Amino acid sequence: MLELRSYVGGRWIAGTGAPQTLLNPTTEEPLAQASSEGIDLHAALQYARSSGGPALRALSFAERGAALKAIADAIQSEREALLDLGIANGGNTRSDAKFDVDGAIATLLSYSELAASMGQGKFLIDGEGIQLGRSARFHGQHIAVPRHGVAVHINAFNFPAWGFAEKAAVALLAGMPVLSKPATSSAMVAHRIMELITERKVLPEGALSFLVGSVRDLLSHLGGQDVLAFTGSGETGAQIRSSPNVIRHSVRVNVEADSLNAAVLGPEVEPRSDMYELFLKDVVRDMTQKAGQKCTAIRRVLVPQEWYSSVKQDLAELLGAIRIGDPKSEDVRMGPLASGAQLADVREGIERLGGKRAYSTTAHLPTRGFFHSPVLLEDASDAVHEREVFGPVATLLRYKDNPAEIVTRGAGGLVSSVYSDDQEFIERMVSALAPYHGRLFLGHPKVELSPGPGTVLPQLVHGGPGRAGGGEELGGPRGLAFYMQRVALEGSRPVIAKLLGK
């Protein structure tokens, strides 16, 4: 069986001890094994800090951007093989796998373009110079410089390619070396990408390390110049945040966690209108794409009392037409969940939400593999505002006057969406929902090829307050701040001007 290895200290190394087995979630057949036992994580971090850091900092933004382009090219060169791996190891349909792999390429290219616009500098000038005293000689200027540590990235199982790329692109552009750890169960795509990167030698030695298997005691080796970005469950996020070493050294932590993303249908939107159809389409896509395993997927579907039965009936009809099965088949629209653990978690979550099933099916579900029917719930318990069921599951909710009051019971999310053409309603929703979200998607049928709220674009921030973890990634240049130290230079204006090459 294929043995996945880690790439640390400038070489590929296999773990020892009992490995974890990676399965094909469609067939439950084992595909590969991985272990991080025996790998010296302290040395791995130190190598990244001492080799990768200085090498990256010696490059200009434009040069770092060229490296990102080269990573995108490497992925592009084996796109078909990576899609096949996503289908096999992730239970992805081909469309799901494209969403992941093409998303990775697009994000890398977006940051590569941003880098080109940032030019030959190696650090950022932050704002205008500031006169501090009565005389112009006493001067201040903020700059942002790369931190001298390692950016540790702990990624979620659902986007092995994109998750790797969206974090790594930003850190590398900022000038920080990365140690990237994919979720083990679906690590084959990220592992192959890492092989491509090392084969092509597109990065300086130490700029990118890769760890498969358990994180073990990784967190206990982090220091005050390191940062950690985590995507996954709120529970694990809390464990990371409360880790004594992370607290002692004020390690910067970014968490993207649970999110009960809501979609609100405006009160004026009549059935069969273009806006109504867009709303249905986005809900169904978010429930079924990647079998609902997207942190941005719509979980709560808020519908005006008046159109409730209509929406329920239409969604049930659309969901009934989704073909579920082996994701290798071209006519299959939804594959299995990514692992047996996820399947168990989804089942437990549906129990927890309670209520009734407005739609679900047992017909045509394969008997092997981690398959689950799409489930549209209604009359659920209050747990619908607390428990993210990470699968093809959403809950219908009626509202009368104030949908925002219902949405904000989710206590902070990554994205919510509003489907309305009533400007007054949109304004009221944005005003009430903005403090609770990292992104608000305003659905409009006139936006062609709209990706819907579930797609994260590199130009916009991705993260959310409260339950969503309080993090923020991407957002074009905004994402760089996490990997840099802002520092105020204070002193004589000519001295500072010379320092900045002016």
d(CA 334, CA 291): 6
Least CB distance to its own copies at residue 41 (A): 20
Query: Can you tell me which of 265, 439, 479, 482 binds its own copies, judged by CB under 8 A?
Result: 439
CB atoms within 10 A of CB 201: 9
Nearer to its own copies by Cβ, of 86 and 146: the residue is 146
Binding mask 272-311 for its own copies (x = CB under 8 A): ----------------------------------------
**Sequence letter at residue 287:** M
Q: Using the rule CB under 8 A, is 145 a contact of its own copies? A: yes
Nearer to its own copies by Cβ, of 160 and 475: the residue is 475
Least CB distance to its own copies at residue 5 (A): 32
Q: Using the rule CB under 8 A, is 54 a contact of its own copies? A: no
Question: Is 235 in contact with 253 (CB distance < 8 Å)?
Answer: no
Nearer to its own copies by Cβ, of 381 and 485: the residue is 485
Token pair in block for residue 366: 């394969």
Token pair in block for residue 62: 């434009």
List the catalytic residue out of 295, 388, 472, 473.
295
Token pair in block for residue 5: 């290895």
Question: Is 420 in contact with 444 (CB distance < 8 Å)?
Answer: no
Q: What are phi and psi of 412, to 5 degrees?
A: 110, 120
d(CA 259, CA 294): 10
| Helix boundaries (H) for 242-273 | 244-248
Q: Using the rule CB under 8 A, is 46 a contact of its own copies? A: no
Q: Is residue 256 annotated as a catalytic residue, yes or no?
A: yes
Helix (H) or strand (E) holding 461: strand 461-462
Q: What are phi and psi of 375, to 5 degrees?
A: -130, 120
Q: Contacts with its own copies in 200-259 (CB under 8 A)?
A: 223-225, 237-238, 241-242, 244, 247-252, 255, 257
Q: Using the rule CB under 8 A, is 49 a contact of its own copies? A: no
Least CB distance to its own copies at residue 432 (A): 9
Q: Contacts with its own copies in 393-432 (CB under 8 A)?
A: 411-412, 423, 426-427, 430-431
Nearer to its own copies by Cβ, of 356 and 498: the residue is 498
Nearer to its own copies by Cβ, of 238 and 344: the residue is 238
Contacts of 95 (CB under 8 A, 6+ apart): 289
Query: Can you tell me which of 99, 461, 473, 479 binds its own copies, judged by CB under 8 A?
Result: 461
Q: Using the rule CB under 8 A, is 27 a contact of its own copies? A: no
**Sequence letter at residue 308:** Y
Query: Can you tell me which of 157, 210, 436, 482 binds its own copies, judged by CB under 8 A?
Result: 436
Q: Is residue 295 annotated as a catalytic residue, yes or no?
A: yes
Q: Contacts with its own copies in 100-129 (CB under 8 A)?
A: 123, 127
Among candidates 152, 131, 177, which has minimal Cα distance to 10? 177
DSSP string, 352-390: HH-SEEEE---TT--SSSS----EEEES--GGGGT----
- Applying CB under 8 A, the span of 98-106, 194-202, 206-214, 450-458 interacting with its own copies comes to 450-458
- Applying CB under 8 A, the span of 85-93, 198-206, 283-291, 494-502 interacting with its own copies comes to 494-502
DSSP string, 2-32: EE--EEETTEEE--BSSPEEEE-TTT--EEE
Q: How many helices (H) and strands (E) does the chain have?
A: 15, 22
Least CB distance to its own copies at residue 229 (A): 14
Query: Can you tell me which of 43, 130, 344, 365 binds its own copies, judged by CB under 8 A?
Result: 130
List the catalytic residue out of 256, 388, 472, 473.
256
User: What residues are annotated to the active site?
Assistant: 256, 295
